[in-house]
Chains A and B, each alone.
Chain A
Amino acid sequence: MIDLLVMLIMVAVGGVLICAGVFFMPVGGAPAAMSTAAGIATGCEMMAAGSGITGLLMAAALYSQPSYIVMINAGISSGIMMCVTMLVANLIVVFGKGVPPALATADKDPVTKEYVRAYVTPGTVGHGVPTACFVSGFIGAFLGGVGGSLTFIPVLRVALSKALGQPIDLFGAIEGIEAWHNYVPFFVLAGICALAMYFINANIAAYSIRGVIEGWWDPKFKKLPKTALACFVASLVFSLLLLLLFSNEAFVKALSSLLQLGGG
């Protein structure tokens, strides 16, 4: 029972982290694809899910490690995905369109303290991914990856412990379990729940961002506390559904019958 309550809190906190991550990401949306706004040329949900998935895959590969190691590694995986994407987006902006990266919501770059207003094309609100957006994007993707693994880890471990009928530590290393074909449905369950969390929380954050945000210096960033509260409540509802699912005897029976299949 304690495990279920801890899972409830972990999932809700994960939702808040994903929401904060989306606020940090330099989301440019459609205008960025035309070099009319600074940031990455895609929407919040897709950027959050795209970077989060890399972290989820890493979390699945390291499933038996202690939780904090899984979280840090998932966060770094998401961060690397974001960094490579932003670097190549800049390569295309610089060599494909011939414009230097520049942001428009501040006169000076908040990280390098350079005066960047002069590089912004008149009629646009910046283009490319300047250094401050890049750093902000890395932080955002890291938070998003940690948030996603905060859903993945407890769901996987609670499902496994329910099916096996033995307690599994939610934070420590898993010992004595070697994943085989019949364990795959548990990873799928945890993966789909974490993927759903990305879409739910990124969507709520997208309402506050309304298309474009550059980073932590953007005026829209001030909406983070209220949006984070909304995400906390939404994630809590989601995790309550998970709690109901795991309290259902028929579901637990179905899970443990999966383990009897053997697979191969």
Chain B
Amino acid sequence: MELSTIFLVLLGIFALIVLLITIGGWFEDVESDMGSQSNPNSQVQLAPQVGVLHRLFNKAIAGEPVTHGTNGVIGATLFTIFWWGFKWHPALAVAIAAALTMLFHMTLSTTAHVGRITSANIFGQPLYYDVILTQLPLIASHAFVLTSAFVAVSYLFYNLFFAAVDAVRLGGYLGYPIAIPLLGLVLGITAGAIGSSTGDVHYGAEREFQHALYGEGIPMGLHGHITVRAEVGYRMSMDVAYFCAKYGGPLSGFTYGMIILLDNFRLLAGNVLSNVVVNVAIGIAAAVTLILINRYLEVWARRKFGPYT
């Protein structure tokens, strides 16, 4: 096979990895918004204490990174057993491993939600049976998608490192020599860190306080007074997901995909040109560009919105 063909194969796998990571990051954020898992959960927990009763799902007993790291490591370990141990086809092994992880995640969500809500029972917060029944399948399906995405990427990264096409080692260009379970863990932790620092701002600052003025940060006096009424009837967590899946979720996925793209692109470029200086130069150029874009965005926002006084 010609060297250019091998390079095209490499680029194809690279594109698949970035796509899978983007989808994984997107669903991770929507899943956490639906379960009010990350930082904004403090408001859901605080609401009954200030007299605001709600019908939101609250499964925040661990931070987002830890939960999805656990999901990733359970899924990736099961996958390794099925694929390496039982010699199943990888596609089948990914699906079965993600499905079993989903069962674990449903158990965690149910116990966490019941525990969280009953702890607020002293302030009059009821535990709604239908809230669990209607949200749980949605949470499970999102967990299935994100786990299968991260397990598939772990498999690709690991196998890419040891793969060879016509005696050309692909490991010299892409992939990591790290065991699949650990890759699942680290990809899950990173996804959680990104989801909670980007997408959850959309949920916490905008969707939870939709009755507050648009164009203002949320003053501390408003904390706990979350929006509990929806377009029709009382707000459920699926209404939150419906809203956040349009902006916060995709941007979280975009962030994760962008990070993997930039980071692996500079690894690939450095390895193809077999010069580490290229790695460093692309990295510094990317960082400076990002700082300048942020500066432009800041100036634009200040001109557009103006000062408060």
User: What is the interface of chain A, defined by CB distance below 8 A to chain B?
Assistant: 29-30, 32-36, 40-43, 46-47, 49-51, 53-54, 56-58, 60-63, 65, 69, 72-73, 76-77, 79-81, 83-101, 112, 118-124, 126-131, 134-135, 138, 179-181, 183-185, 187-188, 191-192, 195
Nearest CB of A to B243, in Å:
10
The bracket for how many chain B residues form the interface is 35 or more
Nearest CB of B to A149, in Å:
14
Return chain A residues, CB-CB under 8 Å to B204.
Answer: 33-35, 41
Nearest CB of B to A20, in Å:
19
**CA distance in complex: A51, B256 (Å):** 11
Identify which of residues 60-90 in chain B touch chain A, using a CB-to-CB cut-off of 8 Å: 63-65
In the complex, per-residue mask of B244-285: 1 if CB is within 8 Å of any chain A CB, else 0: 000110011011001100110001000000001001100110
Return chain A residues, CB-CB under 8 Å to B177.
Answer: 60-61, 63, 179, 183-184, 187
Decide: A72 near B280, CB < 8 A? Known: A41-B200, A41-B201, A85-B198: yes
Decide: A92 near B199, CB < 8 A? Known: A36-B223, A123-B220, A191-B186: yes
Interface SS, B side = helix
Return chain A residues, CB-CB under 8 Å to B186.
Answer: 53, 56-57, 191, 195
Decide: A85 near B197, CB < 8 A? Known: A34-B40, A100-B305, A184-B178: yes
Of B102-110, B143-151, B231-239, B289-297, the stretch lying at the interface with chain A is B289-297
B286 in the interface, Cβ–Cβ < 8 Å? yes
Are A89 and B263 within 8 A (Cβ)? no
**CA distance in complex: A56, B200 (Å):** 26
**CA distance in complex: A128, B302 (Å):** 12
Are B291 and A80 within 8 A (Cβ)? no
Are B276 and A73 within 8 A (Cβ)? yes
Are A73 and B279 within 8 A (Cβ)? yes
